[in-house]
């Protein structure tokens, strides 16, 4: 082997520092929380003893100060959330109103640019296609599969097969599918898709170069990953339908088809909404697949990818931030819809 293990030592050292820091911070915090109250308790005991010896009236028991504990328990989380999320998010909003190196205020120019530059409009349209297709198709496949394998033989195995892509990184999944889409100019095809096309008598294509087909092919990757998520949640919802409802419907003699539309679908509606909302939000933020497969070329870019390019490759901080803010704005209505739904369920 030509691999030199000694080169890797600094990394392990750094990892060790990290772990030591973890032990010190968390252990220290717990220790602090243990020692301080104990000290107060001892002091109070001493006071009580002293008071009883001297015959003075017993000091009043101080009001329970639970708030103090809460502060220590919450301190690391609140600190990190403020530094890492809240303040940066506010700054991003401000940056989106400034020029590329954040030296001048430019008002809404960056947002105007988003909707006037043809390339970016294309990006927005692509994102829209993603958001329309992925949640619907992935949930559809997940639902069909969940119903089909419910209580079937080998259910556990069958579900695992669909669920497995969830563990694979978007980058890994993109490579897997790029290989399916692979193209060779002459000789045998090595990509499965082209092989199928050829064996059906068609001409092999460079799939990922052909817009708008390439966007759809990238969407397939996302669906492939997310259908498993939809399937698991919906399958659990189907299993949770109360047996007596089903029994009653069965005694009324409904057909399985009616059963599906009138019993199963209404019962799992909340789960369906959760799945769709979660997938919509995940799809809005999709980045890895586009970057790995085409790097956003050939008209395949989406908002998250464009945001990365603008902010971190072209140093256009204003435009990058504007895209991030736009992404956030797109998420909000989805979440509001979700919250309203939850509330209706709770009331109704």
Segment 283-302, which members bind other proteins (CB under 8 A)?
284-285, 287-288, 291-293, 295
Within residues 195-254, the interface with other proteins by CB under 8 A covers 195, 224, 227, 229, 232-233, 235-236, 238-239, 241, 243, 245-247, 249-250
130 touching other proteins, by CB under 8 A: no
274 touching other proteins, by CB under 8 A: yes
Task: Give the gyration radius of the chain's Cα atoms.
Answer: 29
39 touching other proteins, by CB under 8 A: no
| Cβ-Cβ contacts under 8 Å for 215 (sequence gap 6 or more) | 126, 129, 130, 299, 300
Among 129, 133, 136, 158, binds other proteins (CB under 8 A): 158
Q: Which residues pair with 98 in a beta bridge?
A: 105
How far apart CA 167 and CA 144 sit, in angstroms, is: 21
Least Å distance, CB 26 to other proteins, is: 4
163 touching other proteins, by CB under 8 A: yes
Judged by CB under 8 A, the stretch of 72-80, 115-123, 131-139, 209-217 that binds other proteins is 72-80
Selection from 343, 337, 347 nearest residue 135 by Cα: 337
55 vs 66 by CB, closer to other proteins:
66
Binding mask 317-346 toward other proteins (x if CB under 8 A, else -) reads x--xx-xxx-xx--xx--x--x--------
Among 62, 252, 257, 346, binds other proteins (CB under 8 A): 257
180 touching other proteins, by CB under 8 A: yes
Distances (CA, A) of 244 to 150, 182, 236, 237: 18, 52, 17, 15
Greatest alpha-carbon pair distance for the chain in Å reads 105
Count of residues near other proteins by CB under 8 A: 138
53 touching other proteins, by CB under 8 A: no
* Residue whose tokens read 């096309």: 197
106 touching other proteins, by CB under 8 A: no
Alpha-helical regions (H) of the chain: 9-22, 28-54, 66-81, 87-95, 109-116, 118-149, 155-163, 170-180, 192-199, 213-239, 243-251, 256-258, 265-267, 269-284, 288-293, 303-308, 317-347
């Amino acid at each position: 082997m030509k691999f030199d293990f000694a080169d890797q030592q600094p990394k392990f050292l750094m990892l060790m520092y990290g772990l030591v820091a973890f032990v010190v911070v968390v252990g220290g915090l717990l220790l602090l929380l243990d020692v301080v109250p104990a000290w107060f308790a001892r002091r109070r005991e001493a006071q009580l003893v002293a008071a009883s010896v001297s015959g003075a009236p017993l000091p009043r028991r101080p009001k329970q100060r639970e708030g103090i504990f809460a502060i220590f328990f919450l301190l690391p989380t609140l600190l990190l959330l403020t530094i890492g999320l809240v303040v940066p998010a506010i700054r991003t909003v401000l940056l989106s109103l400034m020029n590329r190196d954040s030296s001048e205020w430019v008002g809404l120019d960056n947002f105007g640019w988003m909707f006037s530059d043809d390339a970016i409009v294309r990006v927005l349209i692509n994102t829209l296609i993603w958001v329309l297709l992925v949640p619907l198709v992935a949930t559809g496949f997940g639902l069909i599969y969940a119903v089909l394998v419910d209580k079937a033989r080998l259910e556990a195995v069958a579900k695992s097969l669909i669920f497995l892509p969830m563990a694979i990184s978007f980058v890994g999944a993109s490579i897997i599918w790029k290989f399916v889409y692979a193209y060779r100019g002459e000789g045998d095809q090595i990509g499965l898709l082209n092989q199928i096309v050829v064996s059906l008598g068609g001409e092999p294509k460079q799939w990922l170069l052909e817009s708008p087909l390439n966007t759809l092919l990238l969407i397939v990757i996302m669906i492939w990953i997310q259908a498993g998520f939809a399937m698991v949640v919906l399958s659990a919802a189907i299993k949770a339908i109360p047996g007596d409802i089903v029994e009653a419907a069965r005694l009324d003699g409904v057909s399985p088809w009616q059963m599906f539309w009138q019993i199963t679908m209404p019962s799992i509606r909340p789960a369906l909404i959760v799945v769709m909302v979660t997938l919509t939000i995940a799809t809005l933020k999709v980045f890895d697949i586009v970057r790995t497969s085409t790097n956003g070329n050939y008209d395949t870019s989406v908002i998250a990818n464009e945001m990365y390019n603008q902010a971190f490759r072209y140093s256009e901080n204003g435009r990058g931030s504007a895209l991030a803010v736009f992404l956030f704005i797109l998420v909000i209505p989805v979440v509001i819809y979700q919250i309203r739904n939850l509330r209706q369920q709770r009331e109704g």
